[in-house]
Structure 1
């Protein structure tokens, strides 16, 4: 996903002229570290979860198919149900604002890039000009200040990849080592949901920076709170009925489906290129949905699995999203969605969302408001 753009001073007016005139960065040292891994705790007993007596409901929750049978009271009871699905990055914590710039600077330092340091104005200007694409941000930056003097021209791609790897490692370390501030009102919102008997599902499965970043953030809610929630990571998606049915080996893609997926990927890439060119000419702030069909399938599977674990039909769940791909996936399966803006999405538009809100708590995001927005 491409992030929302920002208006700020041009890069050339932010980076000192003396830096532009330099001979480039000098690599003092380097270090290679393996990425961290975290286990994915399971909150469900598969044997109990897939008991025959629950199978019909799971099928309904996964495929959103209703048999049309049952009494009016039963149907009314279903309509009154509500479950809340929460994204992690941008919703529970504004990770991009809190950690990404710092992680880049730590990566520069660890690699011995003594002249590279991103202040907030520089960082936001790079985000605006590159639509949040980190590879493009690094390329633009080093094109401006000069590349490391010992770096051959044909190795620039490998250098960028290594910076991004070090940045990801630094980001994971930051999230684990420091207590990131939750968005104001997040804890109270979750407590309100629990007190009203509303299931809360936290989606770690498609977190932009992976579960190594998402799970420490979730743990910041405290053991008492997390014990009352359902956390859906990649393992939980695979264990879900929908995940096994659609993502498992039991469903094979035909040649036509594979060709269609490849065509969608190509169209997504071309759409991204054209949108960038148009936005650059018109000086627009945009939030591009460049999610591949494969990524969209994973998000849809996570949303379906979330509804399944909550034991609430898809239309009675409300996704609280901080990203455009989540909004698009929710629209695709008929799940109501509200957007909680962050600093990076403050100018983005989400036409398919039921509401675009600024914060947890009244008058914005509350359980009572979701009851009015969500169930049919």
Structure 2
């Protein structure tokens, strides 16, 4: 006689009702009446009192094992651990350090396209300009040409348009570099993503507010490999637009909930109070002021992306951690109420991030690991 092991989560009360067994080829053997018993009605009658030890019947005899039941329950819990953490990754400065690898070369390519053969930035010159301008590329160009001299054919009134043209050509060259196969990802990022997947931690990559745009950012993500990308969730422009948060805020297809309306009214009240105080101070000084207390459009886009990322991960914003490589990402996380860890890059090596929860120099080893993120969340 065959034997099958069943897991019991809880015993069901039995009376004179029928017990249901797995179907067999003989449909007449599917139901068996259980005799009444004076035992505790919440316990299943032992098979020895229900069927003779040597009895046979069509179908399989069920062997109930308490140890197997609890082992099965424990195994199910192990396979589905509670997701107490999700990781959101920026592209710029996190998946790759493009400024270290290609920013200087992109400037030199722009100078070449404009026919400025005398203009070239060796690494010491580039680093010096980067330090003096605090990473502001427009200032870098102005500082450089103020030092070596502007093109002789360039009128003074056209310096601003000249700088703008240089930056446009530089962006084109940078985008071409980002799309090239020679670009490499930051060391350790692939292992970090693999470890997250192994630990059951959702990883969401935010491509929507990348400086190079959603499409180029997605091409960078593709460098992780098809198998690894299949384990990720990507939030781009389309995903943000379709998120519940964006629909609530923009009132597209859904009416704003009470919490959202209250939040909007609170922001309006705070802004109005700031304006009132400023006007009182200004009246004493006989000045006219108009304070813009609303978040910038770019910051609103980042906040929407972070909330969409939390939706995709299936966790509250406070249970997600943004791994940021930009000041704007840190500012957005602070406004959204999301914990944030900064990963320094060549562009932000000397920058300060007072609102970040932690600052790391890279992935793995003494820097950012899943183990450290978990401990940070629990502390």
Task: Tell me, yes or no, if the aligned pair for 2:83 and 2:200 is still in contact at 8 Å.
Answer: no
Cα deviation, residue 245, structure 1: 1.8
Report runs of 4+ in structure 1 exceeding 6 Å deviation.
250-254
Deviations 1:185-230 (A, max 9, x none): 1101101111121111011111133234422221111111112111
Which secondary structure state, in structure 1, belongs to the residue aligned with residue 159 of structure 2? helix
Distance 1:166-1:247 versus aligned 2 partners, 3 A rule: farther
Task: Tell me, yes or no, if the aligned pair for 1:219 and 1:226 is still in contact at 8 Å.
Answer: yes
Task: Tell me, yes or no, if the aligned pair for 1:82 and 1:198 is still in contact at 8 Å.
Answer: yes
1:89 equivalent to 2:57? Answer no
Distance 1:101-1:319 versus aligned 2 partners, 3 A rule: same
From 202, 205, 211, give the equivalent of 2:205.
Answer: 202
Cα deviation, residue 79, structure 1: 7.3
Distance 1:308-1:78 versus aligned 2 partners, 3 A rule: farther
1:34 aligns to what? none
From 363, 366, 371, give the equivalent of 1:368.
Answer: 371
Which secondary structure state, in structure 2, belongs to the residue aligned with residue 220 of structure 1? helix
2:232 aligns to what? 229
Q: Distance in 2 between matches of 1:115 and 1:243?
A: 49
Distance 1:313-1:368 versus aligned 2 partners, 3 A rule: same
Higher relative contact order (CA 8 A, sep 6+): 1
TM-score by length of 1: 0.66
1:69 aligns to what? none
Q: Which structure has the greater CA radius of gyration?
A: 2
From 189, 192, 195, give the equivalent of 2:192.
Answer: 189
2:166 aligns to what? 163
Cα deviation, residue 159, structure 1: 1.4
From 325, 328, 331, give the equivalent of 1:328.
Answer: 331
Deviations 1:263-304 (A, max 9, x none): 99xx9xxxxxxxxxxxxxxxxxxxxxxx96222111111100
1:310 equivalent to 2:313? Answer yes
Task: Tell me, yes or no, if the aligned pair for 1:88 and 1:214 is still in contact at 8 Å.
Answer: yes
Which secondary structure state, in structure 2, belongs to the residue aligned with residue 84 of structure 1? strand
Aligned residue pairs total 274
1:110 aligns to what? 113
Structure 2 unaligned regions, length at least 5 = 1-79, 279-293
Task: Tell me, yes or no, if the aligned pair for 1:317 and 1:375 is still in contact at 8 Å.
Answer: no
Residues 272-291 of structure 1 aligned to structure 2 (within 5 Å):
none
Distance 1:328-1:95 versus aligned 2 partners, 3 A rule: same
Deviations 1:24-69 (A, max 9, x none): xxxxxxxxxxxxxxxxxxxxxxxxxxxxxxxxxxxxxxxxxxxxxx
Q: Distance in 1 between matches of 2:81 and 2:126?
A: 47
From 164, 178, 181, give the equivalent of 1:178.
Answer: 181
Q: Distance in 1 between matches of 2:82 and 2:352?
A: 29
1:345 aligns to what? 348
Aligned-residue Cα RMSD (Å) equals 3.0
Distance 1:247-1:133 versus aligned 2 partners, 3 A rule: farther
Deviations 1:140-189 (A, max 9, x none): 21122122222222222221111111111111111112331211111011
Structure 1 unaligned regions, length at least 5 = 1-76, 268-290
1:135 aligns to what? 138
Task: Tell me, yes or no, if the aligned pair for 1:336 and 1:374 is still in contact at 8 Å.
Answer: no
Deviations 1:227-269 (A, max 9, x none): 2111111221111111222245578999x96x969x99xx9xx
TM-score by length of 2: 0.66
1:122 equivalent to 2:125? Answer yes
2:60 aligns to what? none
